[in-house]
Structure 1
Amino acid sequence: MGMFNGHFYPGLYLFSYGLYQATVVSKNVIFKESPPYPSCFPKNKTRWARLGKISYGGWLRIVIGSILTVYVVTCPDDGMVLMNKQMPPTFMYPKEWQHLTMFVLLILSGCVDVTSKNLLPRRCVVLEKGTLVLSFVELLLLMVSHVKGSEGIELQVHALVIMVVFLLLLVLMAELWAPDMSYLWMMETFLFLLMGSWLMQAGFILFRPLSGYPWQDDDIRDLMFVTTFFCWHLMINASCLLGIYGFSFLWHHYYSPSLKRMRSKEAPYHTSTPGPLYMMLQEVKQSEKDDQALLLSK
């Protein structure tokens, strides 16, 4: 599992999730809305309205995590054996067991997300965010021990992954106390994009180099270009996030029906002219004032 597929497909999932999150966050920032946290599941709405409130992100985590779990279990020829039968017994497949733990965490996070959004009488956002923070704490611990025994290119690649996981953990922890800050949403989305694209790149660097020749651990130029490529990923993902925000702004500004309806509702409060009833009331008020002034003078 620690081969090309173990890096590329999880990275593809994270990058796809980051793209979806970028569209949602861009819409919320443009309309200056809070995150889409409905308090409860709509029980009296139509079937299509109920389908729109299903936790697709949670179900996607469950499905992707289950597929990757089955894949990592079936990868070893003799199965996922915890210990061998020799004396003294030793642990087997340590990296595969770490991958399995990561994917189980993904499934549990999806289960909590689905339970909170669709099963509880009232949605608990703190529970969802807390579970996500706990998952990334354990992911960080697993990643730190995952690089034991690595050196050269592999160590450099995974060290950059650990840095992204640590920054994402800090952002998720900050969201527990400030869930409505748009800057934190954007930072979280950017880090998901960066983590996903870099994991896909790591699969090509470590196992399928585009040149057809493996990277050299003892060549300082190869080590330097690993960091250079990571910086390119920083710029590309930032440009991607900015492009999605710009496209969303243009779309909602010129083509969005909801924005046009909003403008049409706001227009009468600024452009309406006084009607006949309003003029009649003003004349009555003015005549009453004149009568009062006449009585006072007498």
Structure 2
Amino acid sequence: MCLISQFPETSAYSSFGYIYILEIMANFIGHALPGSFFLLFGLWWSVKFPLKHACRKNKKVFYLGSKAGFQRAEIIEGIVKAVFALIGILGEQFVPSGPHLKLYNYKAQEWDHLMNWQHSTMYLFYGLSGVVDILTHATNVVPVAFDRLMMSLAEFVEGYLFYFHVHGRAMLDVHIHILLLTAIFGTALCFFLEVFCRGNIVLELLRTSLFILQGSWFWQIGFVLFPPSGGPEWDQNDHNNMMFITMCYCWHYAFALLLLAVNYTVVTWVVRIKMKGAKPMEMELLKTSGQEQESEDEI
């Protein structure tokens, strides 16, 4: 049943119902957008890192990737990250019910739309991370490890903001966001460890799985708290709902691990097929070319 039909057919109530639906959709999109960001990068990394590992492992007989190619990919990632962050900030600020860059409402003598400002702050740090990615891989100005450090800080800021994001809310609302924090701080830790252990395939795959988990869970939060179809809302104080949503969180991570395993298997299989199909002379040329361009640890 449409939400508008729950109100009497008067102009005042109809307007209220329409505004209510807009508010629900704005909050749903506010979770779907970051969810899409995390899913996009998680899916890309689930292909990129297995490919990078396969190229390094089979470099002596098979040269598929190059330092320059992966460096260009890092620059593109930084651009996409910065663009996503900018879209997120503009969306949070300039939706019909947004603050429109106004932090304090002097007429009402109160802070204005702090939830939107918190989301904008989260996007800001991811945007800064994108800029650092570009500077790190397109210039020699920034040390290489700074891209991982800045991403770790962006994840930490996201978790820090969300920790204080749900103060005073209903039980299920708090619980579903606390579950998200485990993935956020886990990802932040992985990125921080990569500052010192760059290129470690285990850390790269672990943070990829947590990134996919963040993305799918943002979508789940949107569907639970702000059903876009106008369906019945979840009972925020039902303990059974908390039990189910915790189990559902484990299913989301199982899906992320399964997706990662499938992509890793497919990429590895494709590399082996290409390697077996290469002629001996072509393999020797690829080997020579690879040795001339970079050493074993440069990919």
TM-score w.r.t. structure 1 length?
0.76
Q: Deviations over 1:192-213 (max 9, x none)?
A: 1111111111111111177921
Count residues with an aligned counterpart.
254
Contact map agreement 1:66 1:107 (CA 8 A) in 2:
yes
Select which of 117, 130, 133 maps to 1:97.
117
| Pairing of 1:22-37 with structure 2 (within 5 A) | 22-32=46-56
Residue number in structure 2 paired with 1:219: 238
Select which of 125, 133, 155 maps to 1:136.
155
Residue number in structure 2 paired with 1:179: 198
**How far off its partner does 1:37 sit?**
9.3
Measure, in 2, the Cα distance between the counterparts of 1:81 and 1:258: 61
Measure, in 2, the Cα distance between the counterparts of 1:259 and 1:93: 60
Residue number in structure 2 paired with 1:84: 105
Contact map agreement 1:61 1:110 (CA 8 A) in 2:
yes
**How far off its partner does 1:218 sit?**
2.2
Counterpart check, 1:57 vs 2:77: yes
**How far off its partner does 1:30 sit?**
2.6
Residue number in structure 1 paired with 2:290: none
Counterpart check, 1:247 vs 2:266: yes
Residue number in structure 2 paired with 1:106: 126
- Structure 1 residue ranges without an equivalent (≥5): 43-48, 268-298
Measure, in 1, the Cα distance between the counterparts of 2:204 and 2:281: 27
Select which of 44, 59, 72 maps to 1:20.
44
Q: Deviations over 1:166-186 (max 9, x none)?
A: 111111111111113211111
Select which of 160, 166, 177 maps to 2:185.
166
Task: Give the 3 Å change call, closer, same or farther, for CA 209–77 of structure 1 in structure 2.
Answer: closer
TM-score w.r.t. structure 2 length?
0.76
Measure, in 1, the Cα distance between the counterparts of 2:144 and 2:235: 46
Root mean square deviation of aligned Cα: 2.9
Measure, in 2, the Cα distance between the counterparts of 1:123 and 1:165: 25
Measure, in 2, the Cα distance between the counterparts of 1:193 and 1:50: 21
> Which amino acid in structure 1 is aligned with residue 272 of structure 2?
H
Residue number in structure 2 paired with 1:203: 222
> Which amino acid in structure 2 is aligned with residue 70 of structure 1?
L
**How far off its partner does 1:109 sit?**
0.9
CA radius of gyration, larger in: 1
Measure, in 2, the Cα distance between the counterparts of 1:146 and 1:260: 55
**Identity across aligned pairs (percent)?**
23
**How far off its partner does 1:77 sit?**
5.7
Measure, in 1, the Cα distance between the counterparts of 2:84 and 2:280: 39
- Structure 2 residue ranges without an equivalent (≥5): 1-22, 60-64, 286-299
| Pairing of 1:247-266 with structure 2 (within 5 A) | 247-254=266-273, 256=274, 260=278, 265=283
Q: Deviations over 1:142-178 (max 9, x none)?
A: 1111121222221111001111111111111111111
Q: Deviations over 1:207-254 (max 9, x none)?
A: 117792111022211111111111110111111000001111221111
Q: Deviations over 1:14-47 (max 9, x none)?
A: 111101001011112334459x894xxx7xxxxx
**How far off its partner does 1:257 sit?**
6.1
Measure, in 2, the Cα distance between the counterparts of 1:258 and 1:115: 38
Measure, in 1, the Cα distance between the counterparts of 2:209 and 2:164: 25
Contact map agreement 1:62 1:108 (CA 8 A) in 2:
yes
Measure, in 1, the Cα distance between the counterparts of 2:129 and 2:176: 26
